Amino acid sequence: MVITPATEAFDAVDIIRTKRDGGVLSTPQIDWVIDAYTRGAVADEQMSALAMAILIRGMGRDEISGWTRAMIASGERMDFTDLPRPSVDKHSTGGVGDKITLPLAPLVAACGAAVPQLSGRGLGHTGGTLDKLESVPGWQAGLDNDRMRQILVDVGAVICAAGSGLAPADRKLYALRDVTGTVEAIPLIASSIMSKKIAEGTGGLVLDVKVGSGAFMKSIEDARTLAGTMVGLGADAGVPTVALLTDMSTPLGLTVGNALEVRESVEVLAGGGPTDVVDLTLALAREMLALAGIDADPAAALADGRAMDAWKAMIRAQGGDPDAALPTARESHVVTAPADGVLTRLDALAVGVASWRLGAGRARKEDPVQAGAGIELHAKPGQQVRAGQPLLTLHTDTPERFARALESLEGAYDVVDGGTATVGEVVLERVDTPLA
Ligand code: URA
């Protein structure tokens, strides 16, 4: 039995019982439990029970705000208010083929803002921004704070690994939630994301809350709740925050996988690229520039090469060669359309899992990823295809992975003679007010 020592201000079991029975946790209780968990005085099994009680009972706005503040206070807090440019950041809740950070950060920097992107590596079916950038020859994710600040002054955009000093309580709690079936608790997702973003010191924040099979939030109602909760947390912390709810029922763009997604991002920076990727990049850029108080047209910066110049400078500043050839996988396998008709559905989650099984993602955080692995899409929902036409090309260095990837794609798409697909805009809704 774990007994909280008498020197501690609260008893973990009392706090668990309070939430289990639907009560409200006080700010001192929350401050204590987060601090005590971070220093090991609250055991993993106690925090697991509390996380499950929060998942089932929920939390009020004051509790979530207090929880977020306590997680921020568990580590260092960065400050970019002395930079010569206003800072603004974007966070995506994660999706399949979501490479938007890559063109977006240099684009917004090219328009005059500072974009301090502290990113992570992928775990599970959604890819990580650092894994994608690490496929660029020479590029290094690790930077100290002084170098990060210098790149923000010189280039305006930096994408690097979040140091271990930022919200350490979240790192510990997130790993615990991952193995206790408590990742899905909206108060815990919102406070996890916002504690890191607020600790990072950004002046404004735009959230891309994904909705659909390839996203955490499968329904628009849950996505609205998460978005409204995070917008409220930003407001409570004095960080103006806006959220876009965006479609993740099918992969974003035409590529899924590390080097494949870098290639597509460079196409966007060169003024081309798939419509959904361009539209979402521009929609998020407009929101970020509005929060930064900058009156600029991001479409012009994409068209005239300024965003591409900022990308090259950003890559070079971290040791990368933006002109070097990107790695490609050794083996490929083509999946063809089974019949003539309209591709009415191509499921994001199935494609994400298939790409992960091909080697683009990792099962454990210490696993390596293959830079060239992933999937190219040759058609998107709504398009007419002919029997035998390539639908998807699977890439990997290890061909023994094809069978499991193909299993994931079974039943993942429909080709219907005379069928139709409701293909809407990628941006579904905008949320700029806290949840009531
Ligand atoms: N991303 C995070 O950083 N935290 C969560 O809880 C979920 C997604």
Amino acid 123: pLDDT: 64
List the single range of 24-28, 119-123, 262-266, 431-435 with lowest mean pLDDT.
119-123
Judge whether 219 counts as a catalytic residue: no
Query: Position 172: which residue type?
Result: K
Token duo for residue 375:
């999937």
Residue 1: which pLDDT band, with cuts at 50, 70 and 90?
low
- Under 8 Å CB-to-CB from 367, ≥6 apart: which residues? none
The two three-digit tokens of residue 423, written as one number: 């293909």
Q: How far is the CA of 71 from the centre of ligand 1 (A)?
A: 13
Q: In the predicted model, is pLDDT for residue 3 greater than 80?
A: no
pLDDT at 301 over 80: yes
According to the CATH classification, is domain 89-164+199-324 in 3.40.50.2300?
A: no
Query: What residue's CA is closest to ligand 1, atom 2?
Result: 193
Whole-angstrom Cα distance, residue 257 to residue 65?
Answer: 36
Same fold yes or no, 12-58 and 331-416:
no
Q: 183-208: string of b/e by CB count within 10 Å (b at 16+)?
A: bebbbbbbbbbbbbbbbbbbbbbbbb
Quick one: average pLDDT of 244-271? 98
pLDDT at residue 178, rounded to an integer = 83
Residue type at position 86: P
Contact 203, 168 (CB under 8 A): no
Residue-wise pLDDT tens digits, 369-382: 999 999 999 999 99
Centre a 10 Å sphere on the Cβ of residue 356 and count the other Cβ atoms it contains.
28
Specify the pLDDT at position 133. Answer: 97
Residue 84 pLDDT: 93
The CA 170 to ligand 1 mean position distance, Å, reads 9
Contact 103, 159 (CB under 8 A): no
pLDDT at 226: 97
Instruction: Indicate the domain borders of the chain.
Output: 12-58, 89-164+199-324, 331-416
Average pLDDT for residues 230-237, to the nearest whole number?
97
Task: Using the predicted structure, report yes or no on whether residue 7 has a pLDDT greater than 90.
Answer: no
Going edge to edge, which strands form the sheet with 89-92? Answer: 89-92, 205-211, 241-247, 427-431
Q: What is the pLDDT of residues 199-224, one digit of tens each?
A: 999 999 999 999 999 998 999 999 99
Return the percent helix, strand and coil in the chain, to nearest 5.
45, 15, 40
Query: Cα(279) to centroid of ligand 1, in Å?
Result: 25
364: pLDDT confidence band, cut at 50, 70 and 90?
A: confident
Q: State the catalytic residue, choosing from 90, 177, 357, 401.
A: 177
Per-residue pLDDT of 151-179, as tens digits, reads 999 999 999 988 778 999 998 998 899 88
CB 272 within 8 A of CB 81: no
Alpha carbon 94 to chain centroid distance? 4
Residue 238 to residues 187, 188, 204, 232, 347: CA-CA distances in angstroms?
Answer: 19, 20, 9, 10, 38
CATH architecture of 12-58: Up-down Bundle (1.20)
- Ligand 1 geometric centre to CA of 240 (Å): 20
Catalytic annotation present for 196: yes
3-state secondary structure 232-295: HHHHHCCCCEEEEEEECCCCCCCEECHHHHHHHHHHHHCCCCCHHHHHHHHHHHHHHHHHHCCC
Q: Please indicate whether residue 164 or residue 302 has the higher confidence score (pLDDT).
A: 302
- Report the residue among 130, 188, 192 best suited for mutation to probe ligand 1: largest number of ligand atoms under 8 A from its CB: 192
Overall average pLDDT of the 40-63 stretch: 97
Burial of 429 per CB tally in 10 Å (0-12, 13-18, 19+): middle
**pLDDT over threshold 80, residue 63:** yes
- The answer on pLDDT for 125 being more than 80 is no
The active-site residue out of 19, 196, 224, 306 is 196
Q: In what order do the strands lie in the sheet with 331-336?
A: 255-256, 374-377, 390-396, 331-336
Q: Which CATH superfamily is domain 331-416 in?
A: Pyrimidine nucleoside phosphorylase-like, C-terminal domain (3.90.1170.30)
Residue owning tokens 């002054």: 153
Average pLDDT over residues 312-324: 98
Q: Specify which residues 69 forms β-bridges with.
A: none
Distances, alpha carbon 344 to alpha carbons 250, 276, 341, 423, in Å: 11, 17, 9, 9
Residues with CB under 6 Å of ligand 1 are 174, 183, 188-189, 192-193
Q: Is 177 a catalytic residue?
A: yes
**121 catalytic residue (yes or no):** no
> H-type helices in 74-185, by residue range?
101-110, 129-133, 145-154, 168-178
Tell me, yes or no, if 192 is annotated catalytic.
yes
Cα-to-centroid distance, 189 and ligand 1 (Å): 5
Count Cβ neighbours within 10 Å for each residue of 242-268 and write b for 16 or more, e otherwise.
Answer: bbbbbbbbbbbbbbbbbbbbbbbbbbb
d(CA 166, CA 193): 12
Residue 420 has pLDDT above 90, yes or no: no
Q: Specify the 3-state DSSP secondary structure of 423.
A: coil
The CA 190 to ligand 1 mean position distance, Å, reads: 7
Q: Tell me how far apart the alpha carbons of residues 259 and 355 are, in angstroms, rounded to a whole number.
A: 12
Residue nearest to atom 6 of ligand 1 (CA): 189
> Taking Cα atoms as reference points, which of 283, 242, 238 lies closest to residue 433?
242
Q: Is the pLDDT of residue 256 over 60?
A: yes
Can you tell me the distance from the alpha carbon of 43 to that of 114, in angstroms, rounded to the nearest whole number? Answer: 40
Q: What average pLDDT does the structure give for the chain?
A: 95
- Bridge partner list, 335: 392
How much of the chain exceeds pLDDT 70, in percent? 98
Ligand 1 pocket test, candidate residues 189, 205, 207, 365, most atoms within 8 A of CB: 189
Residue 339 DSSP label? S
Choosing from 192, 213, 265, 355, the catalytic residue is: 192
pLDDT at 2 over 70: no
User: Can you tell me which atom of ligand 1 is nearest the CA of 193?
Assistant: 3
**At 391, which helix (H) or strand (E)?**
strand 390-396
- In this structure, of 264-268, 346-350, 423-427, the range with the lowest mean pLDDT score is 423-427
Closest residue by CA, ligand 1 atom 7: 189
Statement: residue 122 has pLDDT above 90: no
CA of 196 to the centre of ligand 1 (A): 9
DSSP code at position 116 = E
**pLDDT exceeds cutoff 60 at 262:** yes
Bridge partner list, 92: 208
Name the H helices within 322-400. 348-355
Query: What is the average pLDDT across 127-136?
Result: 93
